[in-house]
Amino acid sequence: MRHWLASAVLALPMLAIAPLAYAAGFENAVVSAEKDATESVTTFAPDTPVIYLSANLVDVANGTTVSVSWVSVDSHGVAPANFAIATVDIPIDNFQDKINSELSKPTKGWPVGTYRVDITIDGTGAEAAAFEVK
């Protein structure tokens, strides 16, 4: 018991000087029918012309690639489950503090169902926003 306690006490100073791990990511991810909206909408009509995504970048390094994937989770048989509708890659530069993406209504309208927008940083999942069409 003494040996374990002594090891724990000796390890405390090393933990205090270890750098904190912080992952790059996003804040304020907003999905809306309006460009540059400040609040998310979770339900859209099938005739919504465009659905927009915006998100503030947090410590995303210059040269990083952010990918935005629009996914049909369940469109009741119109598309396979978890079908990637579209993906866009956004190269990040030093002066960029926000990303924007949009997806236009299909010709026949949005199929009723559930959807999500996945945001990844250099291939690593960082954020997801869900919405539905009804």
Amino acid at position 96, single letter: Q
* Interval 76-122: pLDDT, tens: 999 999 999 999 999 998 788 999 999 999 999 999 999 999 999 88
Round to whole Å and give the CA distance between 68 and 99: 9
- Expressed in angstroms, the distance from the first to the final Cα of the chain is 62
pLDDT class of 23 with cuts at 50, 70, 90: low
Quickly count: other Cβ atoms within 10 Å of residue 29's Cβ. Answer: 18
CATH of the domain at 99: 2.60.40.10
What is the number of structural domains in the chain? 1
Amino acid at position 115, single letter: Y
What is the pLDDT, as a whole number, of residue 126?
Answer: 76
Residue 11 resides in a domain? no
Supply the range of the domain harboring residue 91.
Answer: 23-133
pTM: predicted TM-score of the whole model, two decimal places: 0.80
